[in-house]
């Protein structure tokens, strides 16, 4: 059974940082495209960052220069380091795994940026 479990969300003040983790089980992330998405209240889910296999990364314009996606294949975990957080970053953040056969989602972790 494939599971993606996110953690690391919470309440943070504007300008602060958080690191989200997504631990995968039942499947290896090594040859999978990993991504982070987010969904704010009343809005559609949107792409935040992706890490295709290898060292390539891609970011949505609103987070470029502030967020960093990385993966640790030994721990079968992908991370999202979020710096200089803004109130508009408030959302539920979801981990996504995609390969040639299937696609999986985590349950999401809430990130709230507020003073």
Residues 20-59 have pLDDT tens digits of 999 999 999 998 999 999 999 999 999 999 998 767 899 9
Chain segment 8-20, per-residue pLDDT in tens: 999 999 999 999 9
Specify the long-range contacts of residues 29-32, CB closer than 8 Å, at least 24 apart: 29/71, 29/73, 29/76, 29/77, 29/78, 29/97, 30/73, 31/99, 32/97, 32/98, 32/99
């Amino acid at each position: 059974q494939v599971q993606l479990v996110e953690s690391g969300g919470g309440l943070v003040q504007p300008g602060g940082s958080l690191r989200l983790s997504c631990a995968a089980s039942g499947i290896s992330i090594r040859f999978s495209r990993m991504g982070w998405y987010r969904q704010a209240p009343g809005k559609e889910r949107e792409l935040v960052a992706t890490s295709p296999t290898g060292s390539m990364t891609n970011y949505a314009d609103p987070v470029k220069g502030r967020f960093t996606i990385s993966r640790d294949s030994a721990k079968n975990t992908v991370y999202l380091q979020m710096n200089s957080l803004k109130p508009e970053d408030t959302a539920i953040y979801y981990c996504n795994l995609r390969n040639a056969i299937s696609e999986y989602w985590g349950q999401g972790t809430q990130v709230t940026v507020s003073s």
